[in-house]
Amino acid sequence: MTTKKAEESPDTCPAQALLKMLSGKWKPEIFRLALAAPLRFSSLLRQIEGANKQSLSSALKELEEQGLLDKITIQQKPLHIEYRLTEKGKLLIPVFQQLEGLSAIKAA
């Protein structure tokens, strides 16, 4: 017999799982910026006010481990690293679009 608490655990609720993936300092902002184009670390550091190298690096690593971003090494001099949305990450685009729509309604 399953209990109500077991059915509502964060591990079984897709919305809770998504919130857990994107929670943390800078993750939502990184993801929002990645929707537009591939990102370089230095560009992210400039665009995200208040971000420091350590916290930004940690957030990028977590998003990569979760399968939402790919870290791509571009073999040219100087060496470049870009972060791009994965196919899994692209599946979340409609979710972010809906959230943007809701915030526009609330602001009006």
Count of domains observed in the chain = 1
Residue 60 lies inside a defined structural domain of this protein: yes
Residue 8 lies inside a defined structural domain of this protein: no
pTM of the model: 0.76
Residue 4 has what pLDDT?
A: 47
User: How far apart are the C-alpha atoms of 74 and 79, rounded to whole Å?
Assistant: 6
3-state helix, strand, coil split of the chain in percent (to 5) is 55, 15, 30
Residue 68 lies inside a defined structural domain of this protein: yes
Q: What is the CATH number of the domain that holds 75?
A: 1.10.10.10
Residue 3 lies inside a defined structural domain of this protein: no
Confidence class for position 89, pLDDT limits 50, 70, 90 = very high
Question: Whole domain around residue 65: which residue ranges?
Answer: 24-107
Say which residue, 4 or 65, is predicted with more confidence: 65
